[in-house]
Every structure is written in C-alpha cells, then in structure tokens.
Structure 1
Amino acid sequence: GKVGVGCPLKIRVGGYYKGMAEITAALWQGMTPVVSYWASTDMLWMDGQGKDKKGPCKNDTGVCKDYARFYDFSVEDLPGAIVAQPTEAIAATEQQAAKEVGEEGGGAEVLAEREKARRRREAAEAKRKAAEAKR
C-alpha cells in the first residue's frame, strides 16, 4: 500500500470445499495469510510467455487494478518445518469448524464468536493466575 493511504480489505468466499473448514479454523486460531499484490513494468522474466510462449502474460501493464482475485491456491507444510501437534482444544475447534462449516458454507460467524469467547476465557484465566502468583 501507499504510505498514509488506507487499505480496506474485504473478503468473500463463494463456497466451501474440502479443506476450507480446516483453513477457516486455522484463520480463527490466528493464522495470518500473506499475499503480495503489486505491479511492475519489468516482471515478464517471472510471469511472461517464456521460451514456450505459453506463459500467462504477453505484456506488463505496470498498473494494479482496483481489485485482485486469488484462486487455485493451496496450503501445505514447509519441508523440514517443525509442525506442532494440535492441542486438545485446537483439535476440538477444528472438529467443530468442520462440522459447522461443512462443504456448503455457513457457520463461520458462529465459529468466530466461539473462538473469541475461548480467547477471552484463556486471557481471564492467565490474568487470574498472574494475580495469584503475585500473592
């Protein structure tokens, strides 16, 4: 984004498919997806037609549109990454997300509210324990 300029972010998911419940649960648990969207007049080396002339871009426009669409992406573990085993609470949240969201969508708002409530309970419990430790 530009310095000093707001950057409103909107998202619309047209439908849930296999794996979306898992992604939704991860997002509610705090995972942050990062997508870079920018333009350049010198990017044909990466997304140009290439030697086989089958690449996606014939020309560089150098100008970003007012919107971007992202599709056909995947989420996977990084090779060699240390993957923590889910705790019982996270596993329960994932199971509930899969049950409520399912393949047809819906239920994400309910899951978000439950996750917020869980985080508030955990914060209150941590605060209580810290107060007890000071005594």
Structure 2
Amino acid sequence: MKHSITYITVLLVLILGTAQLKAQTSTSDQNDYVVLSKNIKQLKPILMTATSLAEEDGENYGEFQVVFCGKTVADIRDNTDFQALLKQAAQQQMKVYVCGLSLQAFEVNPEELPQHLEVVENGIFYGFQLKKQGFISLTI
C-alpha cells in the first residue's frame, strides 16, 4: 500500500509537471518565423524556405518576417532585383523590415526605400521581441 501511494504520487507529478512544461513552451498552435539577415541577397532563398515551411506546416503555418540589418541596407536603393523579390514576399504575406539604426549608420534615407519594406527602429531588439512571443528565429 505504501509503495502504491508513492508510485501514484510520482506518476501524478510527472504527468502534471509535463503538462505545465508543455504549456510554457507552446504559445500558440501556429509556427511563426523570423529571419534576421545582414545580406539582402538572402531574400530569394528565404522566400523559397518560407514556401517550403508553409507546405510542411499546413494549417499550423503562421507569420513569416524578415529583418535586414547592417551595411546591406545601403544596397536596397534602386535595386530592381530586390524590389521584385519584395513584391513576391508581399504576395506570400511575408513582412519584410529594415533596421532603422542601420539606415542611420549608413546614411540611407527611409523615403528612398522601395514599397513593401517597413522600418523598425532597432532590428535586433525587434527580433528579440518576436522571439519572446514564440517566433522561431534564425540569423544569417
């Protein structure tokens, strides 16, 4: 009898502890993604990856966001290839951002940026905020 109570108690602790752990790690049924990149040439493979993840995740596919930081922001102006990829990203409901701190550091006027591109004040901080919200993140 004494051993039975011990076994039942251990079993309940394991079951309840595992359920609580699962609730803490899973914030939603959706898989949300964010990529922080220092190279605008990565947008094409990022789009391909988003397409593959959407197919794989099915109904569990959530948001996909990309944030460009660093010197690469200076290459965005008048880049027709990048603008075409931005249009494709918009069609895939992908949000593409550029780091405001990087724009300032490399003296890029936000008004010269193409349509479908939004500015966040601090790209790295923004990425951490999304990570805290449960986004799966990758830095390339």
TM norm. shorter chain > 0.5: no
* Larger helix proportion of the pair: 2
Give me the TM-score of the superposition, normalised by structure 1. Answer: 0.22
Q: Give TM-score, length-normalised by structure 2.
A: 0.21
Write 1 or 2 for the structure with the bigger share of strand. Answer: 2
